[in-house]
A and B are shown apart, each in its own frame.
Chain A
Amino acid sequence: MIPSKFDYIKASSISEAVKLLGKHGYDAKILSGGHSLIPAMKLRLNRPLVLIDISGISGMNTITEQGGEIIIGANCTHSQVLKSDLVKNKLNIVTQTVKCIGDIQVRNRGTIGGSLAHADPSSDYPATILACEAIIEVEGKNGSRTIDAIDFFQGIFTTSLAEDEIITAVRFPKVINGNYQKFFQSASRFAVVGVAVVKDGDSVKVGVTGVSDTPYRAIAVEDAYSGNSDAGSHAIDNIEVMSDHFADVEYRSHLAKVYVKKALEA
């Protein structure tokens, strides 16, 4: 399978990439690891005329601690995040999440920024981003701004990024007590259901991926939580559950409740 023709431009700075996006608009796509975009282009589901490669931009692939936050650059690969002691010690829920993304080869190329911008409804990161209340840093022609995780995912493959904006980093508050539980689609290793839970005393934050066409905060579970896992029965309250040939609505709904319960118990 061969993608349709495009021009390839390697951007050397964020401002150059933003300028190029502004110039080419929807004809252009940002390329980092390419592990969602290139398969889509090969299947001709996406036919950009221009690819803007941001993988070589310096300063976008660092993991740092600033105050109470861990900041992961958008170009950090899943392998890089998995191998980070800083993330392992202060943001272990993210280590648990990246550990079950794809396989070694995919983790060596796929990036946090790419995964979020692509917004695949069955990808792992969104659940954890939501439960951690991470903040997404973006840059566009009008400068930089931040987007709260809860406002970021708008629908299937749809985010609140503007046409000219690029994700530059993701900021996470440190998490002491958090975990990610996943039911794998056994061939693709995408999440049929993925649940991230962050606990802080009696309060809990729950992010769910794979269940609906948009990853969501399970607010009904959070409201019902009183220290035990019974609240898991509210996993799909007010949620339109997806159906596909791997899991129909009934099965997926059941899995969602079981995996929220599991994450609350962990």
Chain B
Amino acid sequence: MQISLTINGKSHSNDIEPRMSLVHYLREVMDLTGTHVGCDTSGCGACTITLDGNAVKSCTLLAVQADGCEIMTIEGMANGEQMHPIQEAFKENHGLQCGFCTPGMVMTAVDILKSNPNPTEEEIRHGLEGNFCRCTGYHNIVKSIQQAAEQLNS
């Protein structure tokens, strides 16, 4: 089945099987392996990307459902060598340990800050309900998102 979509600002068109999940399309067809597969059952949030600006779990979407949509993955966040303020804040605050959950955390942070540019610590923690960090490094992840909010508002 033919799908056409925009990924990180570039248009793509591919012929795929309807049963292919969006995360497998991104990783295996588009070679964008920054988006991870964790639990594969929409629990852990490692596969989070944005679809038309909203954070979604790409393991629980079929690629055909993204036909005509705009997707942003972790690879689309930086502007050349210049990291996105959220990425920069994760680096500055030691917001990652093993790094497996980080792309999903960053993409969820995009949604949190889009709908609430000045979130409280509690609102950030609630916003991360769908993202698991098995290193349990939540404290610095929350700090990173707080700093990113300040940076984006300044």
A interface residue numbers (CB < 8 A to B): 1-8, 31, 34-35, 38-39, 42-43, 51, 53, 55, 79, 83, 102-106, 108-109, 187-189
Contacts and interface: CB of A to CB of B under 8 A. Distances in A.
Q: Which DSSP category, helix, strand, loop or mixed, fits chain B's interface?
A: mixed
B65 A102 contact: no
A150 B19 CA distance: 36
B45 A42 contact: no
13 contacts: A2-B19, A2-B21, A42-B21, A42-B41, A53-B65, A55-B65, A83-B115, A104-B111, A105-B42, A105-B56, A105-B130, A108-B56, A187-B43
Contacts, number: 76
Interface of B: 1, 17-19, 21, 40-43, 45, 48, 51, 54-57, 60-62, 64-65, 108, 111-112, 115, 127, 129-131
Contacts of A42: 21, 40-41
A209 B66 CA distance: 33
Contact of B19 (A6, A102, A108): A6
B65 A5 contact: no
Given A2-B19, A3-B19, A5-B19, A104 B62 contact: no
B105 to A, nearest CB: 12
A108 B54 contact: yes
A53 B63 CA distance: 13
A1 B23 CA distance: 12
Contacts of B130: 102-106
